[in-house]
Amino acid sequence: MKPFKLAIASGKGGTGKTTISVNIAYFLNSDHTKSIKLLDCDVEEPNDALFFPEAELVSTKEVTQLIPRIDTDACTFCRKCAEWCEFNAIVVIPPVKFAEVNASLCHSCGACLVACEFDAIKEYPEPIGTISYLNTGIGAGLAEGRLKIGSAMQTLMIKELKKDVSDEHQIVIYDAPPGTSCPVVETVSDADFVILVTEPTPFGLHDLKLTVTLLQDIGKQFGVIVNKSGLGNSDVFNYLDNENIELLGEIPFDREYARRYADGSILKDIPTDIENRYRTIVDKIALRMKAYEGNNNS
Amino acid sequence: MKTIISSSGNKLNSEFDLRFGRAAWFCLFDDETGKSIFFQNEHSEAQGGAGTKASEFVIEMEATKVISGDFGPKAKELLEKFKIQMVILDNAKTTIGEIVEKLAGK
């Protein structure tokens, strides 16, 4: 059976996606299932691994992107490839017999290969980043995608990362990048449930609304966790009430807890109050997972 | 010698545009004939690669000098490859006509 796929996302950065992701993995593992895999889909700045200081690196895999190269001996400089290129990645200057692909603009869509009538374009793999597999001691561990600085191929990297989602896992957690752009859409696209993490501040609420609109547009089920509660104001709670959005739980702001986050030790000596709150949240997730399994067995 | 100037409009009294790839128009001034011709920048609204496309245009027009407010890294790389002189002018208040007059040495 296919695993239950849970994405943790947020509009605003720094609301606590990673904190929530690693804690949910930790408490699902201790209370519900050991068959759990965590994927760090924030491939531009992955940081889940920081919270597993004793994790061991099991293996790594290089991810490549196919970049076309133009053979200027075969090229007639007709410019068709450059016209077809949606990303302006191809420069063709007929009078000086110049034709080149700019790798940093190329999205590997392959249109230029189809456009070329003279067989002058071939693709070659170029590395865009690495996937690392870590044994974290929690379920089936962590897979982390790490894109090379400057690469615009976030979605390709996330797709590669998701190839490791297999039927042997009961639940897979996607720690999404912040925002509402392509990498976020790619991350949540196949999720069975999305948790939106927000904070009770005007910025948190503003960006939460954007993400809610996105998820409604693509038809995803979701609930909200308000992190750092006690800060800011009650606007976010009023919004959730008015919109009938499920509040899955609140994690109170605590200076000592924030200090431990900075230290990378949020999974050690978790305060009882916070532990209870996460346990209540993972119970709700486990119910959704069971319902998913029931629906997909029949 | 031909020079390309980034312009906000298609007339000599149009204001100079500080942006290169995103300029609305390009003025091609030829100091041998004294003529200036305006070309609309097809890529001013492009999602990406506007600077590359603008550089491609400059090279194709056989200009040897280009005047704008600044040049991005991809544009710079291409213009350098073809030894095109990049002139940075930070005066947005000036008009294309005034720049052309200076180039013509009037």
Domain containing residue A81: CATH number: 3.30.70.20
Rounded mean pLDDT, B77-88? 96
- Split at pLDDT 50, 70, 90, the class of B2 is very high
Q: How confident is the model at residue A167 (pLDDT cuts 50, 70, 90)?
A: confident
- Cβ pair A88:B60 closer than 8 A: no
| A74 and A9 fall within a common domain | no
Domain boundary (A87, A109, A127) is at A127
Mean pLDDT in residue range A130-154:
94
Convert the pLDDT of each residue in A45-86 to its tens digit.
999 999 999 999 999 999 999 999 999 999 999 999 999 999
Are residues A191 and A156 located together in one domain of the fold?
yes
Residues A26, A73, single domain; the answer is no
Do A73 and A195 lie in one domain? The reply is no
Tally of domains within chain A: 2
Query: For B30-65, how does the pLDDT look when each residue is reduced to its tens digit (9 = 90+)?
Result: 999 999 999 999 999 998 899 999 999 999 999 999
Provide the domain limits for residue B24: 2-104
Which of A88, A95, A96 is the closest to B52 by Cβ?
Answer: A88
Q: Which of A85, A234, A115 is nearest to B48 (CA)?
A: A85
| CB < 8 Å to A95, chain B | 59-60, 62
Closest CA to A16 of A234, A278, A272, A212: A278
Mutate to test the interface with A, among B74, B76, B83 (most CBs of A within 10 A): B74
Residues of B in contact with A91 (CB under 8 A): 52-53, 55-56, 78
Same domain, A105 and A210: no
Distance (Å) from the alpha carbon of B46 to chain A's nearest alpha carbon: 8
- Tell me: do A187 and A254 sit in the same domain: yes
Interchain pair B56, A102: CB under 8 A: no
Least CB-CB distance to A105: which of B49, B59, B82?
B49
Q: Based on the domain organization, do A193 and A100 belong to the same domain? A: no
- Degrees, nearest 5: CA angle A97-A98-A104: 165
A·B CB contacts under 8 A: 38
A12 and A140 in a single domain? The answer is: yes
Residues A243 and A97 in one domain: no
Domain with A86 in it: 64-127
A217 part of a folded domain: yes
**CATH code of the domain containing B93:** 3.30.420.130
Residue A239 lies in a domain: yes
The answer to whether position A252 is within a domain reads: yes
Q: Is A297 exposed, middle or buried (0-12, 13-18, 19+ CB in 10 A)?
A: exposed
CB A258 within 8 A of CB A199: no
B8–chain A nearest CA distance, Å: 22
What is the identity of the amino acid at A244?
Answer: N
> What percent of chain A has a predicted confidence (pLDDT) above 90?
86
Sole residue written with tokens 């962590």: A142
The whole-angstrom separation of Cα A290 and Cα A1 is: 12
Q: What is the DSSP string of A96-122?
A: GTEEEE-TTT-----HHHHH-SSS-EE
Same-domain check for residues A183 and A218:
yes
Which of A123, A139, A147 lies closest to A67, judged by CA?
A123
- Within a 13 Å sphere around the CA of A247, how many CA atoms are in the beta-carbon half? 18
Q: Where are the alpha helices (DSSP H) in A168-219?
A: 182-188, 202-217
Rounded to two decimals, what is the model's pTM? 0.80
Of all residues in chain B, the one with the smallest CA distance to A91 is B56
Residue A298 has pLDDT above 60, yes or no: no
**Whether pLDDT at A128 is above 60:** yes
Check pLDDT > 80 for residue B106. Answer: no
Do A32 and A73 share a domain, yes or no?
no
Answer whether residue A210 shows pLDDT above 60: yes
Long-range contacts of B22-28 (CB under 8 A, 24+ apart): B22/B50, B23/B54, B23/B68, B26/B54, B26/B57, B26/B58, B27/B96, B27/B100, B28/B2, B28/B3, B28/B4, B28/B61, B28/B63
Mean pLDDT on A117-135: 96
User: What tokens appear for A251 in the block?
Assistant: 């994690």
Beta strands at A56-70 and A247-252: parallel, antiparallel or unpaired:
unpaired
Return the amino acid letter for A220: K
pLDDT at A258: 87
In this structure, the answer to whether residues A103 and A159 fall within a common structural domain is no
ipTM over the 0.95 cut-off: no
Does A97 map to a domain?
A: yes
Tally of domains within chain B: 1
Greatest mean pLDDT range, A158-172, A238-252, A256-270, A283-297: A238-252
**Given pLDDT bands bounded at 50, 70 and 90, which one contains residue A183?**
very high
CB–CB of A251/A276 below 8 Å?
no
Q: What proportion of chain A, given as a percentage, has pLDDT over 70?
A: 100
pLDDT(A194) > 90: yes
- For position B91, what pLDDT does the model report? 86
pLDDT at A112 exceeding the cut of 90: yes
Closest residue of chain B to A95, computed from CA coordinates: B60
